[in-house]
Structure 1
């Protein structure tokens, strides 16, 4: 029989793990996001690596459970959830909902009980169940079709053999073990003075908690006999507290647990608000990659026509592609110009193959680039300023830098590269540089990339830069940052470029 794989995640355990694994992460507005980011990262990892066919997440709810009624001090010593984690819980649940993953939570029951109930019901219906948690009391459920995927030790899966190897008893005796040794995390008292090793030895010798307590007189150690006799009822209570409830009244339709496609648009908006830049790129809505009419300048006639157009236009965005990241050492591979959204022109500059000789190309463009009346827009345009100075061209007329504008609007942001701000303000994905150059030992230089690929990449950059300028400029004015931008930041570009030369 081909059994289906069901993963059940202990949401609270996952959240605590995420919260303490990543510290001091928040949005530029001060909203803590470390637990959310860690939760999403671990969830994505499980989905990607384990490929579950079915998935659900359970959470505890505030309020007493049946265990509190049996023992008032149950979990009384557990510290309250940190405020920074507590305020992220609604966001985490909102993200889970956007993933289209069902959430189970019920007043009066713990997540462990809900997971145990779903696991047992699913096992009977032919599923292989993996419970993702860090709680050891859930190990009592382990059998040939239910395993525990340990959240604290990456990749560790507890089957029957692994439970026995780690605790010295099988899954069916885990509650007996906890009854004797207690569990400080849940304030399950156990028997004072008995630790894990002694508890395992007693169960190994007598077979169970009940038999241990009925044969106390056979124990050689007087102090141990005395403790067991004195705390006999407490041990029995501890067993009750440690035993998970597998009969929670859960409305379960296993087909609803089938892993579905996430709501990518909703996740994109959530991750955008949470400023998860890496995740944004993965969940940008389909079909939202920047596209336009991008023309390749192939001959001298095309080049002359481009110059005429540049002469006619007072303002345009430009972007150079080069062989490296240091403008003093690299060489130009091509340049694009954009004066109308969705349209751009690319001039290839090559030593061989398709492209113009570098001296010829730059000589034709020099008077345009040096004309201070032509307003130039760029993304980190200081790079172009230094690059061109290295070839004897003074880039004048620098009017707007989208990277600087993005920084002024949100100085707490970690990244202000074009990919990030295009996603943030335009909801558009740029072609990743790694798509052109590759990675690692197979990485190539921009000069080795095909002309058509570079044309598209370079024109995307100038097109996005022009679009961003028209969005960022009014925002600078609205926030009274326009004087700082134009009177201080823009002139500073020339100063900084001169310092690099």
Structure 2
């Protein structure tokens, strides 16, 4: 393409049909379905294709077109147009509204016209856009569109890595120039659309004849001169069928649809609408990209870094009567880590972060940890104020190392998640938040970076960590009633209250005390095992000869 603006036109109906028939199935071989049992495979593949196109090509202008139900002008030309086509499967028909909704949610407008097919709408828009100074990319796997290729108009097949077709590409792929494609189709016909063509003339013969005579009209004018009966007789007998087939196969470029560039300018997807649709369709690998985040929701996350604000926080925690908390470490091990800060939440999307261990260059807003511990100790040790969290044992160990005994333990959402689903591979708060609150939480990598260049939380300024820190407490608080209900539903509340919850202080004490090892005894046992292994290895080789 040139430096002209590019308009992408998506052959929606064709892509949707191909998506439905794509070999994407469940492990049992059935169609993908959402929680309500509705089929979703066509929507999923269509959305995957469209997202790939948007991400890789970053279109400035884009639109899609779909066939409308009902008769078209082609049905007026012949009574049996598309009569051979198998009726649309009910499972596909049910997905059409979802495909349309997903397309528009992703920011792609849909243009249609009564009594015309999507091909004709695309053909008209392509010609008008090219005339207006645009380059046009028709996104389709349908060879019919080769007839439109010309100055400023190309076809893009999105399959695999994608293939572009200009005039030379059409000639190489189809065997004739773009302006000859419809004449070839008039001869060879189309069994799917019940376009008759000329009996006895297949695709190879059609290409040879049109390549030699240039056009269908010129071929018909010289039909009597064709050597042999193979092509001459059927062509003479079916001249009208050939002309009619050409009209059926020709993509119209005079549909009453206007080309207005500005409404087709791509402005991005609607995050809210995409999340709603993909969540409903259970597209879990996609929905996370559109879930609400700290940067898109209305929230109140505060940095507490003055004595006055600290006293106010302690009073609010006491008066709230219940709160969620998280102790933020500078490394994973509770017995080795230093405290970077404390996060608290008393209501959804409302939280406070008290920084105490940030050491970023020029950092001066961290509070003295001793002063923070003194101010918060009474409420942390108050058994009358229940505390919830995600991995309360970790928090309790960190606090115990500071001389604080965390009392009033209530719900640990990590333990509750394990009780509800022990087969789950992990119980990360980020995953649980997305699943149960439809919220995409920040990860430590999002905040601290990845790989060799990753920083610890302590190396960040508090302002850069406040959202991440506050989320740890806020989300634990939001998940608490969810897991309260799940524990009750699964009749696991007694197990939590009588077994898991009382075990937390015990495990805290065990972790703090550690386990004494008899190193000499372990070394002797290791030596005995090595000797036995060597003896058995020798026996094996001896037996093998």
Please indicate, yes or no, whether the TM-score normalized by the shorter chain is above 0.5.
yes
Equivalent residue number for residue 148 of structure 1: 155
Which stretch shifts more, 189-198 or 159-168? 189-198
**Aligned residue for 1:5?**
6
Partner secondary structure for residue 441 of structure 2: coil
User: Which of 237, 255, 260 matches 1:248?
Assistant: 255
Matches within 5 A, 1:377-392: 377-379=388-390
Q: Partners in 1 of 2:57 and 2:415 — Cα distance?
A: 42
Q: How does 1:232-243 map to 2 (within 5 A)?
A: 232-243=239-250
Q: Given the superposition, is the C-alpha separation of residues 367 and 88 from structure 1 closer, same or farther in structure 2, using an over 3 Å criterion?
A: same
> Residues 131-174 of structure 1, C-alpha deviation per residue, up to 9 Å, x if partnerless?
22222111101111111122335432211111111111111011
| 8 Å contact from structure 1 (residues 122, 129) kept in 2 | yes
Residue 340 of structure 1 is aligned with which of 346, 354, 361?
346
Note the residue ranges of structure 2 that are not aligned, 5 or more in a row: 27-31, 512-545
Cα 1:36–1:442 change in 2 (3 A) is farther
Matched, 1:197 2:192: no
Alignment partners' CA distance in 2, 1:83 and 1:329: 60
Question: What's the counterpart of residue 459 of structure 1?
Answer: 470
CA shift for structure 1 position 215? 3.8
- The alpha carbon displacement at 1:451 in A equals 5.3
d(CA) in 1 for partners of 2:449 and 2:85? 50
SS of the equivalent of 1:336 reads strand
**Structure 1 residue aligned with 2:73, among 66, 79, 85?**
66
The 5 Å alignment of 1:392-407 reads: 398-402=409-413
SS in 2 for 1:246: coil
Equivalent pairs, count: 492
Q: Provide the rounded CA distance (Å) in 2 between the counterparts of 1:104 and 1:371.
A: 64
**Is the alpha carbon distance of 1:131 and 1:313 closer, same or farther for their aligned partners in structure 2, counting shifts above 3 Å?**
closer
- State which drifts further: 67-76 or 157-166: 67-76
Contact 1:315 1:374 (C-alpha < 8 Å) held by counterparts: yes
Q: Secondary structure, in 3 states, of the residue corresponding to 1:8? A: strand
| TM-aligned CA deviation for residue 456 of structure 1 | 4.1
**Which string of whole-angstrom CA distances, capped at 9 and with x for unpartnered residues, describes residues 36-77 of structure 1?**
344344334433433333322211012232223334443333
Contact 2:305 2:367 in 1 (8 A): no
C-alpha separation in 1, matches of 2:489 and 2:213:
80
CA RMSD of aligned residues (A): 5.0
Query: Which deviates more from structure 2 when the two are superposed, residues 170-179 or residues 339-348?
Result: 339-348
In 2, the alpha carbon distance for the partners of 1:245 and 1:180 equals 19
Residues 290, 430 of structure 1: 8 Å contact kept = no
- SS of the equivalent of 1:61 reads coil
**Given the superposition, is the C-alpha separation of residues 302 and 15 from structure 1 closer, same or farther in structure 2, using an over 3 Å criterion?**
same
CA distance in 2, matches of 1:402, 1:346: 22
Q: How does 1:146-295 map to 2 (within 5 A)?
A: 146-192=153-199, 194-216=201-223, 219=226, 222-229=229-236, 231-260=238-267, 262-276=269-283, 278-282=286-290, 284=292, 287-288=296-297, 290-295=299-304
- Aligned partners of 2:355 and 2:462 also within 8 Å: no
Q: Which residue of 1 aligns with 2:528?
A: none
CA spacing shift, 1:202–1:234, aligned 2, 3 Å = same
Retained in 1: the 8 A contact 2:53–2:158? no
Is the Cα–Cα contact under 8 Å of residues 324 and 346 in structure 2 kept in the other structure?
A: no
Give the structure 1 partner of residue 16 of structure 2.
15
1:469 equivalent in alignment to 2:470: no
> Aligned to 2:36, what secondary structure does the other structure show?
coil
8 Å CA contact 1:59–1:104 kept in 2: the answer is yes
Larger Rg, first or second structure (1 or 2)? 2
CA 332–161 in structure 1, closer or farther in 2 if over 3 Å, else same: farther
Query: In structure 2, the residue corresponding to 1:467 is in which secondary structure?
Result: helix
- For structure 1, list consecutive stretches of 5 or more residues without a partner in the other structure: none
- Are residues 128 and 62 of structure 1, via their aligned partners in 2, closer, same or farther at CA, if it must alter by over 3 Å? same
Counterpart in 2 of 1:437? 448
User: 1:249 & 1:232 partners in 2: Cα distance?
Assistant: 31
Give, in angstroms, the shift of residue 469 of structure 1: 2.6
Q: Which moved more, 1:262-271 or 1:100-109?
A: 262-271
Given that 1:294 and 1:459 are in contact with CA atoms closer than 8 Å, whether structure 2 keeps it comes out as no
Q: 1:410 to 1:241 in 2, by over 3 A?
A: farther
Tell me by how many angstroms 1:80 deviates: 3.1
Q: 1:416 to 1:189 in 2, by over 3 A?
A: farther
Q: Secondary structure at the match of 2:470?
A: helix
Kindly state the Cα deviation for residue 290 of structure 1 after the two structures are TM-superposed: 4.6
Once the 2 structures are TM-superposed, how far is the Cα of residue 13 of structure 1 from its aligned partner?
A: 2.1
Greater Cα shift, 111-120 or 183-192: 183-192
Instruction: Please give the TM-score of this superposition, normalised by the length of structure 1.
Output: 0.76
How far apart are residue 380 of structure 1 and its match?
Answer: 5.8
Corresponding residue for residue 535 of structure 2: none
Deviation of 1:334 after TM superposition, in Å, equals 4.2
CA shift, 1:120, in A, is: 1.7
Q: How far apart, in 2, do the equivalents of 1:386 and 1:185 lie?
A: 71
Q: Secondary structure at the match of 1:292?
A: strand
Give the direction of change, closer, same or farther, for the CA distance of 1:13–1:439 in structure 2 (3 Å limit): farther
